[in-house]
Amino acid sequence: MIFKKKPEPVEAEPVETENPFIEAANVLTEMEENGELPEGFDLSEAAQDPAFAALLFEFEPKAALRIYVAEKRAEDAENTVKTRMSEQVRTRGALPKSQRTDRAVAPAPDYMQMSKEAFNALEQQYRNSAHSGKRVHI
C-alpha cells in the first residue's frame, strides 16, 4: 500500500486587515497637515474622547469630524446659556423688592429692641385700630 504524504499546510501570507481607526487616523492627519480641520479643533484631545471614536466607527472620518465638532459646539452653547441664566437669577434675587409699588414700605418694627413704653403704646394703637373695625397686621 502506498502511503501518500499529507500535504504540508501552506503558510498564508499575513493579510492586512482593514482597520477603520488606522484609516481614519491617516485621513485626519492628512487633513491636519492641509489645514482642513475646523478652527479650534484639537485632534489629540478628540482622539482620547470615546464619543469621537464611536463616531469614527459609524461614519467616514470627515463626517464624523463634522458631527463631533457640531455636538461640541452645541454642548458649549448650552453650558454658556445655563451659566448666563443662573447669573441672571442670582442678580435678580439680590435686588430688593417693594411690597407695594404705589407707596413706600415702612420698616418692620423691631419688637426685641423696643422699650417697654414704646411696646405698650404700639399695643394700645393696635387695639384701638382693631376696635374701630380696621384690619390689624402684625
60-92 pLDDT per residue, tens = 888 888 888 888 888 888 888 888 988 888 887
Average pLDDT, the chain: 77
Query: Long-range CB contacts (< 8 A, 24+ apart) of 48-53?
Result: 53/21
The pTM assigned to this predicted structure is 0.49
Residues 104-120, mean pLDDT to the nearest whole number? 83
Residue with cell 394703637: 125
Question: What's the pLDDT tens digit per position in 8-22?
Answer: 665 555 545 567 667
Residue 128 CA to residue 107 CA, distance in Å, equals 21
Percentage above 70 pLDDT, the chain:
75
- Three-state secondary structure call for residue 1: coil
Output the CA–CA distances (angstroms, integers) from residue 66 to 28, 51, 61, 62, 74, in the order listed.
12, 13, 9, 6, 12
Q: Which residue blocks in the chain are alpha helix, DSSP H? A: 20-34, 43-47, 50-58, 61-94, 116-131
- The rounded distance, in Å, linking the Cα atoms of 75 and 42 is 16
